[in-house]
Structure 1
């Protein structure tokens, strides 16, 4: 049941200021583009710390600006955040977001000034929409070829490379008055499990984990105002709990060793690593007790946010969570809001470089020798369905190639064909007489792509191999990501532009 008013000092519940402190520790997702749900209004009235927007909240730029204005009219110190990594990870395509190349392409180019220009464009666009917090950049190192979730979201595998690009990104974002957030502490790149789907474990030793901490140290030194925790168990650091719920990792390591005093926000609690093992409500209570300052419930079911809120209130009543810890967390959120919650006049945020992302994508693609360009390619673009937690704007390689070579033909395949032989025969029939491109997206993680690619190459060894994820042996072209800028850059190479 939703309470409609704060609890009075002399009532059976918490003091008003402590009730508000509890609500400051929450970040809620919600449904809709035009109106604020009544349950969300009541949470905001009681002190809700932030909301997180997704594609479901975005129709166009004017609509988003009105929505953020309406939210902030309810509470001026409400933080409005969004995942805004660039590349294929963003939710503002229909609101005119600048094309970003994604972090891995930026790491391949390794030009920190260009990284800063890309980050500035993304942050300037957020400022123009009244969005004040960006849950980016990714600070994870991409160690393992079988890691299923970090991949091209990372700047790379080298700690110093990642650190210098983080510094450039954070500094540029700060200059626009947007709060950045380095994630996922202490690193998700050494796992073989996606924490959206199950508990991830990084079995490496303490010494082996040291390089993963360096980008986070660099982010803190650069003044990053937020960090996001990883739903990953690190037995060398805490054998019993994932980082999000670990006092050893959040308190001893992050607060005391690294010295971070900004807002520590959890990754979304509905991710199965937390939801299936602990439950979202218990996860909220344990995370705050462990040292988190805000917990995110990204799904739009506000009943789940309320359940997390009630678990925290109940823990305070029962003495399982201290007032001091909640007030400390709320104080950090309050200071963050004082610095970032009020958006600047959007007219002050014009003039970002919309060409920075496409330039970075082109420079990354052209870092490898280009195949011979010919017109009229038949493209077979293989990629899995989009990750449920990550946005996909419908980009595909054929569309981008047709924009520069209208004679191109082809198809996109997003799942294993029921009849592999029939699919191969059909593709070869339609591609007869045309040069062939076979594009895959992380085929090592999706064996059906490798089987289909290899069968086609056996019949058409002249085919050009393209990777739209991490590079693989034998690729002729690699885009280092599936964002629109990445795919267009690869298409330009194929077309000889």
Structure 2
């Protein structure tokens, strides 16, 4: 649902209140160099932050120039980005350190190694002038059919997740970067992706996974992000992002969080289709959020959200005190994190920590099979999520980097058109003739086409070595616990018995 773009403005608010309302917004935008005029005007009126995506990234020098340009307009502008590691990140083209996804770090369960990976990511952000990282994921992967959390979580045990969170937050804080635990009060107990529709966690209160969020608050996390998820045990009507019971009573009251509470992106269908982005902005701030994210690059959507907030202030539907309180939290965050040190002042980080962690995760999954050099590798995985970055990595590329004799078949997303499941199977069997065969799937339980390809191949080639690049699957001999490049490289080394 796209808000209407242009309309006559209402009566002017006092300047201080107008600035406070703008502090409560985080905007996405298009472009890698210049700043669009509508964004300049928002920044001039007090915009609290911007969020960068792959669309804003060409290389490291360009990102540094872009963040310098933004801060020349407003020095206390918070510049943020999703930076979870693994296959979730937007800075591949800018030389981001390669670290495994969170689940692999949880498998290793070495907080010092987790801290080293988080430190590398945070140190790199500072060299680019980025001071807020919308990570780590504090969700617990509680439902096997959950389609969106999975290896983005540190695990399925709240205590393990809490340990990893504490290490990540402390390392990020030590760098002077703001971390953000998400998605409160948890997205791991749903079977729906809130990017696509409203998600519901039906569990009773005493079974919700709140422990990691308590741990994050106790660790001093400066940002928390809300979930677009309905929790009937807490509020049967509204998703957490719009619920005073969850944001004010639970998070502020019971958990004692005093930092900045930011919404997940308002254009996600769980909010946009049911309420609209503009109403979502007003309702989220009224419920207790301090900032709302409008991630889409269409600034007309951001302006409509801003106008809805200003209108609600004029009518009294949104209390002035609520907005000024939120804006003051954002100002405190900005004073602490907005202006980064220059790149030359940033100390080096451990560039090998990510591969070390990925290797230990694979070797933590039980006995491993003998290497199969010269194999034909079939890599099956779902089409990349439209809201999450994908750097183009695949297992075959990583295998061939250490074993040039290997061949393979890569299938990103369910075959369609002329490329059918049957044709993929036939292609793979031809390629594997006279060679060892390795078949990798990624969450085949959620994507039945992968299971059909795998089962057809193993019916002909029962000697095939099975690999999982998502969560562990029945019969999988090797598990990467993620699809970051270092996860795939670690598996490639096991398959080939070689490393570079």
TM-score bracket, normalised by the shorter chain, equals over 0.9
Secondary structure at the counterpart of residue 440 of structure 2 = strand
Secondary structure at the counterpart of residue 263 of structure 2 = strand
CA drift at 1:208: 1.1
8 Å CA contact retained: 1:2, 1:39: no
Secondary structure at the counterpart of residue 413 of structure 1 = strand
Which residue number in structure 2 is paired with residue 468 of structure 1? 469
Q: State the distance in 1 between where 2:429 and 2:452 align.
A: 15
Q: State the distance in 1 between where 2:6 and 2:347 align.
A: 41
Post-superposition CA distance 1:26-49 (Å, at most 9, x none): 000000001100110000000000
8 Å CA contact retained: 1:471, 1:478: yes
Structure 2 residue ranges without an equivalent (≥5): none
Q: State the distance in 2 between where 1:46 and 1:3 align.
A: 18
Which residue number in structure 1 is paired with residue 303 of structure 2? 306
8 Å CA contact retained: 2:383, 2:414: no
Q: State the distance in 1 between where 2:283 and 2:165 align.
A: 29
Secondary structure at the counterpart of residue 119 of structure 1 = helix
Which residue number in structure 1 is paired with residue 380 of structure 2? 382
Bigger mean CA deviation after superposition, 347-356 or 49-58: 347-356
Which residue number in structure 2 is paired with residue 277 of structure 1? 274
Q: State the distance in 1 between where 2:44 and 2:114 align.
A: 39
Does structure 1 residue 447 correspond to structure 2 residue 448? yes
Structure 1 residue ranges without an equivalent (≥5): none
Which residue number in structure 2 is paired with residue 65 of structure 1? 64
Write the mapping of 1:154-233 to structure 2, written as runs, cut at 5 A: 154-209=153-208, 212-233=209-230
- TM-score normalised by the chain length of structure 1: 0.97
Post-superposition CA distance 1:407-465 (Å, at most 9, x none): 01011112333533333222211210010011111101100000110110110000010
Q: State the distance in 2 between where 1:12 and 1:414 align.
A: 52
8 Å CA contact retained: 1:144, 1:189: yes
Post-superposition CA distance 1:78-135 (Å, at most 9, x none): 0000000000000000100000101100000000000000000000000010000000
Give 4+ residue runs of structure 1 displaced > 4 Å after superposition: 1-4
Secondary structure at the counterpart of residue 379 of structure 1 = strand
8 Å CA contact retained: 2:24, 2:47: yes
Q: State the distance in 1 between where 2:387 and 2:423 align.
A: 33
Which residue number in structure 2 is paired with residue 369 of structure 1? 367
Q: State the distance in 2 between where 1:333 and 1:241 align.
A: 25
CA drift at 1:157: 1.0
Which residue number in structure 2 is paired with residue 331 of structure 1? 328
RMSD across aligned positions (CA): 1.3
8 Å CA contact retained: 1:177, 1:344: no
Secondary structure at the counterpart of residue 237 of structure 2 = strand
Does structure 1 residue 403 correspond to structure 2 residue 404? no
Q: State the distance in 2 between where 1:152 and 1:218 align.
A: 20
Which residue number in structure 1 is paired with residue 152 of structure 2? 153
Secondary structure at the counterpart of residue 85 of structure 1 = coil
Q: State the distance in 2 between where 1:355 and 1:348 align.
A: 21
CA drift at 1:3: 10
Q: State the distance in 1 between where 2:193 and 2:11 align.
A: 43
- TM-score normalised by the chain length of structure 2: 0.96
Does structure 1 residue 54 correspond to structure 2 residue 32? no
Q: State the distance in 2 between where 1:337 and 1:410 align.
A: 49
Secondary structure at the counterpart of residue 437 of structure 1 = strand
Secondary structure at the counterpart of residue 33 of structure 2 = coil
8 Å CA contact retained: 1:85, 1:136: yes
Q: State the distance in 1 between where 2:421 and 2:87 align.
A: 28
Q: State the distance in 1 between where 2:372 and 2:13 align.
A: 71
